[in-house]
Structure 1
Amino acid sequence: MAIKIAICDDNKEDAELLEKALYNYDDTFEIIAYNNGEMLIDDFLDDNISADILFLDIYMPGIDGVKTAERIRSRNKDIKIIFTSLSKDHFQQAYEVFAFNYILKPLNIERLYCVLDRALDELRSENNYKISFKYKSSIHIIDWRDILYMESQDKLILFHMTDGSKLQCYGKLDDIEPKLPEESFIRCHQSFIVNAAHINKMGEAHFSIGQVMISISKKRLKHAKEKYYTYLFSHMGRGYVE
């Protein structure tokens, strides 16, 4: 899958120089450029674009780079934000919006490629934990470690997340199960798949995740318990059995 990069810089020459350098690094990058923060924010909030990496100029008319980053970060906690600036004066603000890095202008290609190397290494590592699904017109990309359990209701799959939210998509658990890491997820019922990392108790015929009790069907009881024991032995201290 191609890496998606957004550039936001009101200086056309700086933006073009950065874009050229990025394509020279990897011509498979998918790059989109903006010349102001307002348009970038609108497209992000409306789900018109997604990006893995955002190069963001700090000094821009209207909404500056820091305020733009705050809005983008409120929607996307995973995007790698790399500030570009003529000044070192905004290091602290960059830290506060969890920027990945800070590159001074004029652009130093060697420095840029060093930062890119690190960003791409992290993205590859993080992508091992990602699954994606589509619901209506939106594509959701989530970290499977943040899933408590999945529940099938009629033609919908409900994702119960660690932050208390619920996401959903059309489909069957049979379709989503192969996308999940086999060692971490347990199909304990026709209607439920649980994340073993979040099980805090196993009863005679149920798993407990927080205050929620999830049934283990008779058909799947032996396999579910064996799989949970295997998980416990490989992740000592993450749960207990009643």
Structure 2
Amino acid sequence: MTMKAIIVEDEPLAMEELLYIIQKHSQLDVVQTFDDGLDAFKYLQTQQVDVVFLDINVPSIDGMLLARNIHQFAIKPRIVFTTAHKDFAAEAFEIEAFDYILKPFNEQRIQGVLNKLETLSSPAPVPAAAVPATAPAVSAPTSAASSQKVNLTKGERIFVTDVSAIYYVEADEKLTHVYTKDDEFVLNMAISEFIEKLPTEQFFRSHRSYCINLNKVQEIIPWYNSTYLVKLYDVETQIPVSRSRIKEFRALMQL
């Protein structure tokens, strides 16, 4: 399915250049453009899109404030900031921006972002041999794609938690540890069972014992045997990427 996008940019030349690069290097459908933050916000209150290319310095509502409002949506579009200033990078990733593009635009850099967007939105191909020719038609499960919240338990309390708050998940035999920025939850289920509740475009099973939130990745550290350790924002634990999953990880992260 084609992803829908909008551009919020008050510089006509920058708007034109960004639109040209998106159309040249991707299948994204730019359904609307805005030169005013308030107009964009009104549009997003009634229309759903997958990606917002957002300049930080726009009239009425600046891009950062608009992004914080978008972050409260039940179904959040991915935000790609476009700006001439590096100063906002840390704040941008605090609200889980998908990426951050500096002006003047670099076509190759934008192409990399577009490739990553389309890779994350595409389902993994199923080998032909894995599906019997006479396999009956079944409805695809929708829980992972549509679920935005999960129940995390601590003692007798149940915390209804936005999946975007989850940093990583760790297996512990038949238990699963779920880590947010400030807390840890222990669930009485296998990691594979819990991962089924998470949106596949946002979470990656980097190792048989770990699953990470791709939006929380801060640093990718080369490790032995051409593998990686992944450092996430706000937490100290470094997550391994196993050799069996390295190819998929490189494709997702454009390495």
> Which amino acid is the alignment partner of residue 95 of structure 2?
V
When residues 61 and 2 of structure 1 are mapped into structure 2, their CA distance, relative to the original with a 3 A threshold, is: same
In structure 1, what is the Cα distance between the partners aligned to 2:102 and 2:69? 22
Question: Which of 147, 165, 173 in structure 2 is aligned with 1:143?
Answer: 147
TM-score relative to the length of structure 2: 0.50
Partner of 1:71 in structure 2? 69
Deviation at 1:13, TM superposition (A): 1.3
Q: Does 1:11 align with 2:11?
A: yes
Q: Is there any run of 5+ residues in structure 1 with no aligned partner, and where?
A: 132-140, 148-161, 165-230
Instruction: Write the distance in 2 (CA, Å) between the matches of 1:37 and 1:93.
Output: 18
Give the distance between the partners of 1:130 and 1:54, measured in 2 at CA: 24
SS for the counterpart of 1:74 is: coil
Cα distance change on mapping 1:39 and 1:145 into 2, 3 Å: closer
CA contact (8 A) 1:129 1:143 kept: no
Contact 2:3 2:27 in 1 (8 A): no
Q: How does 1:167-178 map to 2 (within 5 A)?
A: none
Q: CA RMSD in A?
A: 3.7
For residue 41 of structure 2, give the secondary structure of its aligned residue in structure 1: helix
Distance 1:66 1:76, change over 3 A: farther
- Write out aligned runs for 1:7-156 (5 A): 7-27=7-27, 29-45=29-45, 47=46, 49-76=47-74, 78-125=76-123, 130=142, 142-143=146-147
Kindly state the Cα deviation for residue 11 of structure 1 after the two structures are TM-superposed: 0.9
Moved over 6 A (4+): none
Give the structure, 1 or 2, with the largest relative contact order (CA under 8 Å, sep 6 or more): 2
- 8 Å CA contact 1:36–1:61 kept in 2: the answer is yes
Contact 1:19 1:31 in 2 (8 A): no
Greater CA radius of gyration, 1 or 2?
A: 1
Aligned to 2:238: none
State TM-score, norm by structure 1: 0.52
Among the aligned pairs, what percent are the same residue?
A: 26
The 8 Å contact of residues 75 and 148 in structure 2, kept in 1 or not, is answered as no
Tell me the SS of whatever aligns to 2:87: coil
Report the AA paired with residue 24 of structure 1: K
Instruction: Give the conservation status (yes or no) of the 8 Å contact 1:2–1:29.
Output: yes
